[in-house]
């Protein structure tokens, strides 16, 4: 009986989804991506993506989660009006060009027809 309980515990643990990580960053935790010239930022929570930028309307959409494609994580979403947002994250030391901060991920964001480049990090590192 004891062996059966241990075996069931092992099977249950194996069935749990593993956390998606990229460059040591847990993609299931709150994150922020940002860039300059022009300034933009994306707040990424497990539930929602919120893009803000200078001279741009705010974009809000449910976060569908990341899919890993080799060394890149891709998050692709649409807002209720049909505007698309794609975030590509790549592990690399990244500088925002305005501070001494070094981020663990590079970010490339496509919002509609615009492509923006920047950096990303877990929210806990940025607070």
CB atoms within 10 A of CB 76: 15
Report the b/e string of 44-69 with b at 16+ CB within 10 A: beeeebebebeeeeebebebeebeee
CB 41 within 8 A of CB 59: no
CB 78 within 8 A of CB 88: no
From first to last of its 127 residues, the chain has per-residue pLDDT tens of 444 333 434 444 444 445 688 988 999 999 999 998 889 999 999 999 999 998 888 999 999 999 999 999 999 999 999 999 999 999 999 998 777 889 999 999 999 899 999 999 999 887 7
In whole angstroms, how large is the CA radius of gyration of the chain? 17
């Amino acid at each position: 009986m004891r062996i059966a309980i241990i075996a069931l515990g092992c099977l249950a643990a194996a069935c749990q989804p593993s956390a998606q990580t990229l460059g040591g960053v847990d993609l299931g935790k709150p994150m922020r991506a940002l860039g300059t010239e022009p300034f933009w930022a994306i707040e990424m929570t497990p539930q929602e993506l919120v893009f803000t930028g200078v001279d741009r309307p705010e974009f809000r959409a449910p976060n569908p989660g990341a899919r890993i494609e080799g060394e890149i994580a891709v998050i692709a979403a649409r807002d209720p009006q049909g505007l698309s947002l794609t975030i590509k994250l790549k592990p690399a030391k990244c500088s925002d060009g305005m501070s001494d901060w070094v981020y663990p991920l590079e970010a490339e964001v496509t919002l509609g027809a615009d492509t923006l480049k920047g950096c990303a990090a877990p929210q806990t590192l940025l607070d």
